[in-house]
Structure 1
Amino acid sequence: MVMENWLKEVAGDSRGKAVGGSMELGMTRGVVVTMDPQNDNKNSIMISRSRSQEVKFKPLRNGQTARLVLALVMSTLVMMVAVSRLTLLVVPWSSSSPTEQPLQSVLSNHLNPSVLKQTTVASTGDDTVKNHLSSSTELKLIPKLPVTTRPAQLAESSSSIDKACMSRSQQQMYRDSAHQFPRSVLLDHALEKYTEMHSQCALLLDDGNDTSVQVKKGCQYVVYLEGYEGLGNRLLSLVSAFAYAMVTHRALVIDARRGHLAQLLCEPFHNSSWLLPPQFVDAVWGASTLEDAMRWNFQNVTSVRINLRHKQTEADQTFFCPATQKGVRNITWIWWESNQYYVPRLFMIPDFWSLLSSWFPDPSLVFTQLTRFLCLPQNHIWAQIKRIRAAYLASSMIQVGLQVRRHANADNATLVPLVHELIMNCSLKHHVLPKLVLPVMPQRKEQQLALGNQPVAEMSVGSSSSSSWTTTQSVAVLVTSLHIQYYEKLRNLYVEHGTEDGTVVSVHMVSHEGVENESYEQAVKALTEIWLLSFSNKLETTSWSTFGYVAQGLGGLQPIILNFFTIDAQHETRPACFLGQSSDPCLHYPFVKPSKCAGVKMSRQHSKWITTHIRPCQDEVNGLQLCSGGNKYSE
């Protein structure tokens, strides 16, 4: 309520037999060879083309000549048909990038969802390609690959592919056109200028001195200190540090002496590294806390360590106040330690808002566009992502992502039947999964409490006539969870029961670690799963999950949020599931208090922007979330 009150204050079909080829594509012209019924000469033939024009040949002198001519005609027609079919197969794909992507992958990824509903033939496995090429109707459904609207200086081409980071140029090929989200011209320009600055401020060690680092005059830095929480928290805080570095013209570097991000992600900036030299000593920290720097009035302070974790002191909470930002403006080194997504707070600072709002016309896409630039998996991880997708997900017409995490339970890998039932009810209610044909089961009292008195059997079979599953199609579901039984329960459910419309559902899982740890191997699996979830057409995430936040943000997806607190918490009043108001992550701990930033002068335009685009999070009443500014979500 403190947050909401403060925001209010700020507001103020061919006949005959075709010669030389089949009619498989439905595009071959009707060329037919028959005998002339009005001529008794057996050597007289008639060629009919397209059922409209007939060319009669006079009687030939002998059978040998007739056979020779007939052979020549048939050979010519065979070559014509072959060339025609080759053109049909090659031309639509001649502009695609030279990748390993199979044909069925292209078909499944670039078909518009509205067109998918009109498709009448669906299959899985090896028959997919054949069925998609079996009629002229389906051939017309093959769309053009999405055309980038990025400026020429940043557009990817075959000559500018970064072989050291293949995901940079290939990632867009795996997203449907509705989730491309090209960057604005101003953001592209800002990223280009920032990359140039980063190259000019590259950190180099002095010759003969293993601990002295050359710092060019005028260069300033944000040093990202990787935390010890899960990968989701690390990526959220890394993107926040990058956004701050952009608006303050500081070069972002990572202290790779702890954590795995340097081993997981590509170098994002051309001609310079974002890695802090390993010989760099901690003595450069200077002020160990923001409170110390403030006590010294920021005089003779060359570095300061900033604590932006979920637990902060009174002084730490003033970091995003304009007065504090003015104080740290001349400090060379800012050491950024955080586990939160602080981009919403950056938009509250007047000097930063003018830049950020011009770069991001739709603020709900801040994390999407920055992450697709900054957090790209290295080649060995990217190859694994592509292999998994091609083997298990790409052949299906629709991909659904399901992320399950229970925060209020000490053992969040434990399978709870009510959690599975909540997942199924929410998935069917919001048309994330196709309806099942299930028998009506008696309802238990605890189910009524957990699911808002909604009969489980009724929700399972579904009662709404507005379901988006109107045609037979195939669906691949990717489940990410610490526990394998959530995957097994969902897989068995769709194996044992049919769907109302005949939709074929396959369920897959990459890993089931049981418990979360800090190993590099688990981090690789987590990053792989995040990227695979981001390629989904429909996504369900768990409330309060930073892992889910990164997946939805990277994909630019507004998820269905599963609220397991309705089971785990006694006084939970929010619904069991709801549609997310934005794809941007939630900032759980904004620490917004009017008394901390007293005397802030904000224009009426800025105040109106805040009340339009920054709202309390749906899964954390005291949190903040960037939204597009459309109609507010109502439950």
Structure 2
Amino acid sequence: MAGPREPGKEPMGPFWHKMLIVMCVGCILLFSFFTLMDMANVMTRGKARCSNPIQELNSQQFSKASIPPKDDETCVARTQHLLYRKDPQRFTASAELDAAWKRYGELHRACSFQKNLTHVFLHEREMKAHDDCNYLIMVEGAFGLGNHFLSLISAFTYALATDRVFLIDSRSLFAKLLCDPFPGSSWLLPVDFPYEEVATAPAFIHAIGSEFRDVDLLCLHLEHIQSWGDSQFFCDQNQLFLMDVQWLGWLSNQYFVTRLLMIPSLWERLHPIFPSTEDQVFFHLSHRLLLPHNDIWARILREYWSYISGSRTRVGLQIRLHGRNDPGAFDEEVLERILQCLHSEKVLPELVEKENIEALSGFFLKRREGELTSADIAVLVASLQIRFYESLRDSYGALPNAESAMIRFHTVSHLGRQDYTVQQAQIAFVEMWLLSFSDVLLTSPYSTFGYIPQAIGGLKPIILNIQGGNITANGPQACFRGQSMEPCTHFPQDLACRGSNETAGHSNWIQNHIKECQDKEGGLQLVDHAEDPSSAHLRE
């Protein structure tokens, strides 16, 4: 019989039992370790094959600094649009512009926040001595969307240079398309504001006749055709008088930033805000003022991810036949000239007759190994006439091309004619933004529609030589390279002004940075540097 056990001690089993237990536990741990390592390798390989396209886009094309930490829910495009640029750092504004924008924002809030502007306009205009705020109201005319945006940027540039609070009609097309650019305040006037009183206010000629005495409201008529009195707005001596006019209406269909910079007093205010970026005024201001509402931005993204993303090269093609009774017509000779341009500028490879069998045999392996994208080139065609899109798509679908490239064509709309409705404006705005994402952009001459995407995207376009009604395949060159990303001022109002205050520095700047437009004789355009100043056609 065994003796009594000592308190606190358990009987000890044989030694080999303990060794067996240790070995079993060790095997289980080693098995678990190698299983986990294998799973990690499988997951890594899986991620390499099935990477998230958005993560891939961010890692390949954009620096982390370009990705906003948080979306602005009131205007998602404000923080997201840089994600769709291959070179987001180029979109960085100068410190001078950022400072000017901040100062303007403070002025805008001080003069509009929690103010009843209807009451200010109707009852406090004669009390201007008690209010240091001056206002500029955008009056919307019956023009196309491109003209609207050109006028908007021009009017705001003038407001920025003259310390005026920039306001728009809350019933207008702008209010239906654009985000409010001033968080913490608004650029929308009240619904009950007496807009008609602004639109029918005395013109500039009446203020000149009265020598600006007791003038607190004027409406500037700065369309392409102007009276002598309206054109006097561009004379420097009259800008001093305008400082005492509290309320200005701005009605225009033109891009007048070029002309504003030729006014000495305004140049002195604006030039320091855009140092060494003479051809980027519209470019930088559009990213603050021409941002689409969230519902329009959502449409832009759906079109982009469905039809444009995943390509190595993005091509924008904007076709509008100016100089004809029907700018939305189809012309076989115009199509031929567009193809000539696409091939001569090496935007698209030329069509050939014989298939490259070796290239066809390699498509599957290259795609399986991840060397091929969904398309080599994605082409967005923006035209009122669908036959241009169909002809290009069918040609490149039916015939081989010299590089065996996979080319995808897409169009957002084909409305046939311009009808100036809100719905058509929304679609046009979507097309403008999508075109601005292009790596290569081809535009139509004299087209205000085409000016907008080139300026938003910061692109010097290839300009198609398709204006007028007598287009032949054997005519002048099919297209030419644009000299600037800035829009053309079609009708700059070349006039003689009394007592010009132009300095030698300003005169030299004009000679170096303003040049005649390539697509409009007599028009003026801001350029980075004019190669031939003598051809600028500048006369005060």
TM-score of Structure 1 vs Structure 2, range by shorter chain:
0.7 to 0.9
Match of 2:86 in 1: 176
Distance in 2 between residues matched to 1:578 and 1:418, nearest whole Å: 17
Q: Is the Cα–Cα contact under 8 Å of residues 221 and 253 in structure 1 kept in the other structure?
A: yes
Decide which of 179, 182, 202 is 1:288's aligned counterpart.
202
Decide which of 30, 53, 76 is 1:104's aligned counterpart.
53
Match of 2:63 in 1: 145
Match of 1:376 in 2: 291
Distance of aligned partners of 1:63 and 1:560 in 2 relative to their CA distance in 1, 3 Å threshold: same
Match of 1:270 in 2: 183
Deviation at 1:103, TM superposition (A): 3.8
Decide which of 12, 36, 41 is 1:81's aligned counterpart.
41
Deviations 1:125-152 (A, max 9, x none): xxxxxxxxxxxxxxxx83552635xxxx
Letter in 2 for 1:78: D
Deviations 1:135-193 (A, max 9, x none): xxxxxx83552635xxxxxx9542xx321111111111111116732100010010011
Match of 2:167 in 1: 253
Is 2:268 the partner of 1:354?
A: yes
Q: Is the Cα–Cα contact under 8 Å of residues 364 and 583 in structure 1 kept in the other structure?
A: yes
Q: Is the Cα–Cα contact under 8 Å of residues 179 and 555 in structure 1 kept in the other structure?
A: no
Distance of aligned partners of 1:87 and 1:493 in 2 relative to their CA distance in 1, 3 Å threshold: closer
Deviation at 1:577, TM superposition (A): 1.0
Deviation at 1:630, TM superposition (A): 6.3
Distance in 2 between residues matched to 1:528 and 1:86, nearest whole Å: 36
Distance in 1 between residues matched to 2:121 and 2:154, nearest whole Å: 28
Distance in 2 between residues matched to 1:625 and 1:430, nearest whole Å: 23
Deviation at 1:324, TM superposition (A): 1.2
Q: Is the Cα–Cα contact under 8 Å of residues 205 and 212 in structure 1 kept in the other structure?
A: no
Distance in 1 between residues matched to 2:457 and 2:414, nearest whole Å: 22
Match of 1:540 in 2: 442
Is 2:307 the partner of 1:397?
A: no
Is 2:148 the partner of 1:230?
A: no
Structure 2 residue matching 1:611: 3-state secondary structure: helix
Match of 2:106 in 1: 196
Deviations 1:464-490 (A, max 9, x none): xxxxxxx99611100000011000000
Deviation at 1:70, TM superposition (A): 6.0
Deviations 1:445-502 (A, max 9, x none): xxxxxxxxxxxxxxxxxxxxxxxxxx99611100000011000000001101112122
Match of 1:621 in 2: 521
Structure 2: 5+ residue stretches without partners: 1-19, 355-371, 536-540
Distance of aligned partners of 1:346 and 1:574 in 2 relative to their CA distance in 1, 3 Å threshold: farther
Distance in 1 between residues matched to 2:389 and 2:475, nearest whole Å: 28
- Aligned residue runs from structure 1 range 442-521, under 5 A: 474-521=376-423
Deviations 1:255-292 (A, max 9, x none): 244x4111110111122221222222244678521000
Distance in 1 between residues matched to 2:118 and 2:220, nearest whole Å: 32
Distance of aligned partners of 1:347 and 1:255 in 2 relative to their CA distance in 1, 3 Å threshold: same
Decide which of 246, 249, 255 is 1:341's aligned counterpart.
255
Structure 1 residue matching 2:91: 3-state secondary structure: coil
Distance in 2 between residues matched to 1:604 and 1:388, nearest whole Å: 50
Q: Is the Cα–Cα contact under 8 Å of residues 224 and 335 in structure 1 kept in the other structure?
A: yes
Deviation at 1:435, TM superposition (A): 2.4
Distance of aligned partners of 1:333 and 1:564 in 2 relative to their CA distance in 1, 3 Å threshold: same
Structure 1: 5+ residue stretches without partners: 1-59, 91-101, 111-140, 149-154, 440-470
Letter in 2 for 1:414: A
Distance of aligned partners of 1:298 and 1:375 in 2 relative to their CA distance in 1, 3 Å threshold: same
Deviations 1:102-138 (A, max 9, x none): 9435645x6xxxxxxxxxxxxxxxxxxxxxxxxxxxx
Distance of aligned partners of 1:378 and 1:233 in 2 relative to their CA distance in 1, 3 Å threshold: same
Structure 2 residue matching 1:390: 3-state secondary structure: helix
Decide which of 65, 76, 79 is 1:166's aligned counterpart.
76
Deviation at 1:568, TM superposition (A): 3.1
Match of 2:230 in 1: 316
Is 2:302 the partner of 1:387?
A: yes
TM-score by length of 2: 0.83
Decide which of 410, 427, 430 is 2:342's aligned counterpart.
427
Is 2:31 the partner of 1:71?
A: yes
Letter in 1 for 2:245: I
Distance of aligned partners of 1:377 and 1:69 in 2 relative to their CA distance in 1, 3 Å threshold: closer
Distance in 2 between residues matched to 1:194 and 1:608, nearest whole Å: 29
Letter in 1 for 2:517: C
Distance in 2 between residues matched to 1:323 and 1:372, nearest whole Å: 32
Q: Is the Cα–Cα contact under 8 Å of residues 203 and 276 in structure 1 kept in the other structure?
A: no
Decide which of 331, 337, 343 is 2:245's aligned counterpart.
331
Q: Is the Cα–Cα contact under 8 Å of residues 566 and 574 in structure 1 kept in the other structure?
A: no
Deviations 1:69-115 (A, max 9, x none): 7634522422553686799899xxxxxxxxxxx9435645x6xxxxx
Distance of aligned partners of 1:421 and 1:285 in 2 relative to their CA distance in 1, 3 Å threshold: closer
Deviation at 1:210, TM superposition (A): 11
Q: Percent identity?
A: 37
Is 2:326 the partner of 1:411?
A: yes
Distance of aligned partners of 1:77 and 1:430 in 2 relative to their CA distance in 1, 3 Å threshold: same
Distance in 1 between residues matched to 2:118 and 2:532, nearest whole Å: 61
Deviations 1:603-627 (A, max 9, x none): 2111111111110000012001001
Bigger CA drift: 273-282 or 242-251?
Answer: 273-282
Q: Is the Cα–Cα contact under 8 Å of residues 118 and 192 in structure 2 kept in the other structure?
A: no
Letter in 2 for 1:400: V
Distance in 2 between residues matched to 1:208 and 1:374, nearest whole Å: 24
Match of 1:186 in 2: 96
Distance of aligned partners of 1:363 and 1:103 in 2 relative to their CA distance in 1, 3 Å threshold: farther
Distance of aligned partners of 1:384 and 1:353 in 2 relative to their CA distance in 1, 3 Å threshold: same
Q: How many residue pairs are counted as aligned between the two chains?
A: 490
Distance in 2 between residues matched to 1:188 and 1:535, nearest whole Å: 24
Distance in 1 between residues matched to 2:460 and 2:451, nearest whole Å: 10
Structure 1 residue matching 2:60: 3-state secondary structure: coil
